[in-house]
């Protein structure tokens, strides 16, 4: 379903899209024609820890980036990214609340990402993240190794996230030099793929999702949606509720879900211009996570001992066993950030027929 039509009811579609996905030979092409910012697919449901695997072929050529990521609404992020000039490397990465730390990236060697299907897997628990390729684990990051002494908290992805698959032009002259250099240079719009197919493309064959149970100590009062009960945006501020997620129109927001609803009067959406109409968060097609910043462009530094989160809540560095953890015990802040759709845990296994996303 196009993101401009999606109103928050995850029963209507498993995926929402921006750009132009194309069904091709039991796969989906993520396309990027000249003059566009590519294609992005996002799951309509969220997962709060679990295992997700995508079988895909990447795109190629300088400036062209393929991505398979988990991204939360507070910009916790776990990545596989593929630069089109390096078809022998999968970049593994993670971010905490969008804080840029280029030391988090680790390269994984893989053969011909453009010509060969590989299965890339992210296994995310409250205690660790493991990146695997074709069933072989190549990297594990422990939460206990992400402690930031300055902000006094773990810089570890910990909030409900959506699955995203994207193809985007990092190599645009309008992007920062660091991003362009990281992407291998400017996009060549006269490349063979553009001449022969009319667009760059990546091919997604299958996505397999297994959700884990909520972490120990999670606040559960329903099974429909996630909300944050504090602006801290950490795992202990997440609550599973029965609050609604469906907007009445594209003018709706998390704090005014009825905005723009038909009322029989001309003033139903008065004062709201079309430029203010929101779409699903993260579905602009113009890059992934951290606002697409890569390779040394300006952004908050997240290196250990830095001061990017001096106002962050106090954490308790516990790391014993497979369980939940607390970043902000005793928080009394009650402002709700937004409602989110829940993908229920309990070791749910879901094999997503990827072509089905185009049939909604």
Of the listed ranges 40-49, 158-167, 295-304, the least confidently predicted one is 295-304
Between vectors from CA 218 to CA 213 and to CA 221, what angle results, nearest 5°? 95
Q: Which of 25, 77, 121, 318 is catalytic?
A: 77
Task: Tell me if residue 179 falls in helix, strand or coil.
Answer: helix
Distance CA 121, CA 22 (A): 23
Looking at residues 184-189, what average pLDDT do you find? Answer: 97
Catalytic: 340?
no
> What percent of the chain lies above the pLDDT cut of 90?
69
Task: Please determine, for residue 182, whether its predicted confidence score (pLDDT) is greater than 80.
Answer: yes
Catalytic: 121?
no
Name the helix (H) or strand (E) containing 137: strand 136-142
pLDDT of residue 260: 87
Contact 210, 219 (CB under 8 A): no
Q: Which of 25, 81, 239, 276 is catalytic?
A: 81
Distance CA 207, CA 342 (A): 18
Q: 294: pLDDT confidence band, cut at 50, 70 and 90? A: low
pLDDT digits (tens, 9 = 90+) for 36-67: 999 999 999 999 999 999 999 999 999 999 99
> What are residue 147's phi and psi, to 5 degrees?
-65, 130
Average pLDDT over the chain, rounded to an integer: 80
């Amino acid at each position: 379903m196009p993101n401009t039509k999606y109103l928050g009811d995850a029963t209507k579609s498993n995926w929402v899209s921006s750009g132009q996905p194309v069904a091709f030979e039991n796969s989906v092409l993520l396309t990027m024609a000249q003059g566009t910012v590519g294609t992005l697919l996002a799951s309509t449901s969220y997962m709060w820890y679990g295992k997700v695997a995508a079988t895909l072929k990447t795109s190629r050529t300088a400036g062209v980036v393929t991505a398979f990521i988990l991204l939360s609404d507070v910009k916790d992020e776990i990545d596989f990214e593929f630069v089109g000039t390096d078809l022998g490397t999968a970049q593994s990465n993670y971010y905490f609340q969008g804080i840029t730390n280029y030391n988090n990236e680790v390269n994984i060697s893989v053969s011909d990402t453009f010509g060969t299907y590989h299965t890339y897997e992210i296994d995310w628990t409250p205690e660790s993240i493991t990146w695997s390729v074709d069933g072989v684990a190549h990297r594990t990051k422990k939460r206990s190794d992400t402690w930031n002494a300055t902000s006094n908290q773990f810089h570890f992805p910990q909030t409900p996230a959506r699955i995203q698959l994207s193809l985007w032009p990092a190599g645009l002259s309008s992007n920062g030099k660091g991003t362009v250099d990281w992407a291998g240079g400017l996009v060549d719009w006269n490349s063979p793929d553009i001449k022969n197919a009319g667009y760059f493309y990546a091919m997604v064959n299958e996505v397999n999702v297994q959700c884990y149970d909520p972490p120990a100590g999670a606040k559960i009062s329903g099974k429909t949606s996630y909300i944050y009960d504090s602006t801290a945006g950490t795992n202990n501020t997440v609550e599973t509720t029965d609050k609604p997620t469906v907007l009445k129109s594209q003018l709706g927001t998390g704090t005014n879900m009825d905005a723009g609803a038909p009322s029989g009067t001309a003033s139903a959406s008065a004062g709201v211009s079309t430029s203010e109409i929101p779409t699903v968060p993260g579905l602009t097609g113009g890059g992934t996570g951290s606002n697409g910043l890569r390779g040394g462009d300006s952004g908050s530094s997240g290196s250990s001992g830095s001061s990017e989160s001096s106002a962050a809540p106090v954490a308790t560095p516990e790391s014993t066993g497979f369980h939940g953890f607390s970043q902000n015990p005793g928080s009394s802040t009650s402002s709700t950030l937004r409602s989110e759709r829940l993908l229920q845990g309990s070791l749910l296994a879901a094999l997503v027929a990827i072509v089905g996303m185009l049939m909604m």
